[in-house]
Each structure stands twice: as structure tokens, then as C-alpha cells.
Amino acid sequence: MPRIDTRKFYLSAIKKHGVSAKGVNWLSKENQELRFKEILQLLPYVLNEYSLGDAGCGFGDFYSYLIKNNRQLKNYLGIDAHIEIVELASANREVEILHLDICKESVPIKDYYVCSGALNILTYFETHLFIQNCYNSSRKAFIFNTLYGDKESETYNYLQKDFIESIAKKLNVKKVIYKEGYLESDITVMFVKK
């Protein structure tokens, strides 16, 4: 069972802030883009040979960030669990965005999967399922960022390296890469397959 009502969590933010970074509960657009930058640095520089799945894509802001940074993909697919967000994102982006619950449904195979922030409000069990599904559906790697540390929160999910390593071990991840220090209480992780 989720620790919070995620639909209410997002819909109240959209009502207050509209289609924006704050509309999907980011502190700011700058904060959101700092995380995007860390993910982008782990992807190949030439992306036009690869397909990418954006798990928990929100309004498709990572896709816009890629375009803004002249990083064209062979294929982009956004996935979000909330139909209202999918409808808003589809109206504002010319890319495919699917309505799927990644914790419960299989996702299409892509070269890379990325996730920025969507793990922050899941339970540990849901986090494991989400990571497992994205990793198993990627040909090359799954890259995600999440809140990091030993803080206790009624709303947010803070992960620690021992939890991340335990998932990596269960999934037989070939290599785990960590990026830290760009924001307090945040970490970007890459689970490499090949």
C-alpha cells in the first residue's frame, strides 16, 4: 500500500501550479534540471542510435531537456501511472506517452530506461518492483535518481546504498555507478546491463 495517495499528491500540485516542474512537485525547474543533468551525463553522448523509456515521465520534461541540449533520440517513450498527467503531457509533447503502472504492468523494451523523482513517494516494496521492471525492460541500463539518506518521512522515500545494492544483487546487475554531491539528500544511480 502506498504511504500516500499519489494521485492526490500530484493532482493537488497540478491544480496549484499547472503544467510545470512544481506541478509534479519539484521544488523548482532548476532543481529538476540539476537531476536531469546527472542522468544525461550517464547516457551516451550520441543518443540518436538509442531508444529511451522515461519511467514516471510526468509532463515529459526530460524529453524537453534532451531537445534543449541538442540530444536527439532514436525513439522516446514516456510512461506515467496517472491518466490526468498522461493526458496533459500528450497534449503538450509530440511523443508517445503511455498510461501504465510500472509497479504492476510490464513496460516495452528500450535500450535505456531513466527515472527522475518518481521513486521518491513509493514504498520500499514498490521501489523494488519499479526498479526491477525498468531494469529488466532495458537492453543497456537503467538510470534513476532518488532521495538519499537515512531521513524518516511520512511522504518521501529516502534510499540508502545498502538497499540499492541489495536490489542490484537480486537483479544480477553487472555494474552500479553512483553520482552524488550535486544536491543535498539526492543520488543518481546507474544499473548497467552490458
What pLDDT digit, counting tens, does each position of 38-91 carry? Answer: 999 999 999 999 999 999 999 999 999 999 999 989 999 999 999 998 998 888
Q: If you count them, how many residues does the chain have? A: 194
> What's the pTM value of the predicted model, to 2 decimals?
0.92
Give the architecture (CATH level 2) of 6-192. 3-Layer(aba) Sandwich (3.40)
pLDDT higher than threshold 80 for residue 6: no
pLDDT of residue 165: 97
Going 63 to 93 to 31 to 67, the CA torsion angle's sign is: positive
Q: In what order do the strands lie in the sheet with 175-179?
A: 96-99, 75-80, 51-55, 110-116, 138-147, 186-192, 175-179
Rounded distance between C-alpha atoms, residue 178 and residue 183, angstroms = 13
Residue with cell 520534461: 61
172: left (phi over 0), alpha (psi -120 to 50) or beta: left
CA 127 to chain centre: 11
Q: Is the predicted pLDDT of residue 2 greater than 60, yes or no?
A: no
Phi, then psi, of 122 in degrees rounded to 5:
-90, 160
